[in-house]
Structure 1
Amino acid sequence: MAVRNLARAGLGERTEVRVGPALESLPKLADEQPPPFDLVFIDADKANNPHYVEWALRLTAAGSLIVLDNVVRGGRVADPANDDPDVVGTRAALELFGTHPRLSATALQTVGDKNYDGFALARVVA
């Protein structure tokens, strides 16, 4: 689906889609020493969100934007007693967004067909 949508958007020649577990793919990508990414969109297994944020920091530079999707999770992220791995991972990633010295971040709640959820935006500042 990603390949087809990128082609429809006229970006097929400018993009590369990699399929596989991200925690296996990201070290390989980093070994290739690509130029810093301008935008990183994280929408993967939520339990590993903190790891994806750390990888995003390795692969970006000042001025880049990191987007973390599905951060409200129906309000469950705000419940400290909720120990669901997806909620715990999302909460930890949000805490990283809020405390990491290289990031300036905010989170937004959305309301729609999926009830309510949200996303977080972090600008890499250093």
Structure 2
Amino acid sequence: MADLHASWNDVDRYLIDTLADEDEALAAARLSSSETTAPGIEVTANQGRLLRMLAELVGARRVIEFGTLAGYSAIWFAGAVGECGVVTSLELEEQNAAIARANAERAGVGDRVDVIVGPARASAQALVDAGVEPYDFAFIDADKQSTPAYLRLVLELTHPGSVIVIDNVVRGGAVIDAESADDQVRGMRAALAEVAGNPSLEATALQTVGLKGWDGFAVIRRLS
């Protein structure tokens, strides 16, 4: 199995080197993850490229993400929304927010990345209460046990046609365990069940292997 994992990593590195086109600012942001409170858990470069492409495909000008860390995915999204767009990123820790803001400035997108510090649930609720303009794209990649709550808030912050991506849904295969005592697994199962039971949503999920091990993500589209 160790050799198989090595092959997964080698394939990921090949795909990233060939197609992901990570520039110097993105590479610096990724490396600065080591200075955050959760080093090394940012998306990979090829997933970052995919997120940017998905946002571009739906013509997103407003993106909200749950979980900032070093701002790596926020910079990818900033490239998608363009100079007149905005990326709202919700981050619990001021330490991470400061790193993310510096990285966004280095990448030349600091004017379109707004990092809000505080518990994501409270921050998102404040946006709902303020009646902000709906978002075209949402990326949920924060504490996994809170994913169902984040999803419900995202549905109040988006509009028909918006796309939602939930990261880390497979949990190394543990997502199939209906009896799991792991709060992160339970959170993902509850979120996926809510998606499946909501007729205003259509969705699929894919499992992935590579530099981040065995995991996956869900892609959801609001129909109404």
TM-score, normalised to structure 1's length?
0.93
User: How many pairs are equivalent?
Assistant: 126
C-alpha RMSD over aligned residues? 1.2
Q: CA deviation at 1:6?
A: 2.8
- Name the CA shift for 1:4/1:110 in 2 (closer, same or farther; >3 Å): farther
1:95 — aligned with what?
A: 193
For structure 1, the residue ranges without an aligned partner over 5 or more in a row are: none
- Name the CA shift for 1:5/1:97 in 2 (closer, same or farther; >3 Å): farther
Q: CA deviation at 1:102?
A: 1.6
Q: CA deviation at 1:79?
A: 1.1
Instruction: State the distance in 2 between where 1:11 and 1:68 align.
Output: 24
Instruction: State the distance in 1 between where 2:216 and 2:103 align.
Output: 23
TM-score, normalised to structure 2's length?
0.54
What secondary structure, in the 3-state scheme, does the structure 1 residue paired with 2:114 have? coil
Q: How does 1:1-126 map to 2 (within 5 A)?
A: 1=70, 2-126=100-224
Q: More relative contact order in 1 or in 2 (CA 8 Å, sep 6+)? A: 1
AA aligned to 1:77 is: V
- Name the CA shift for 1:81/1:102 in 2 (closer, same or farther; >3 Å): same
Instruction: State the distance in 1 between where 2:169 and 2:101 align.
Output: 26
Which has more radius of gyration?
2
CA displacement, residues 19-54 of structure 1 (integer Å, 9 cap, x when unaligned): 111111111111221111011100111111100000
> Which protein has the bigger strand share?
1
Q: Write out the 4+ residue segments of structure 1 that deviate beyond 2 Å after TM superposition.
A: 4-11
For structure 2, the residue ranges without an aligned partner over 5 or more in a row are: 1-69, 71-99
AA aligned to 2:119 is: P
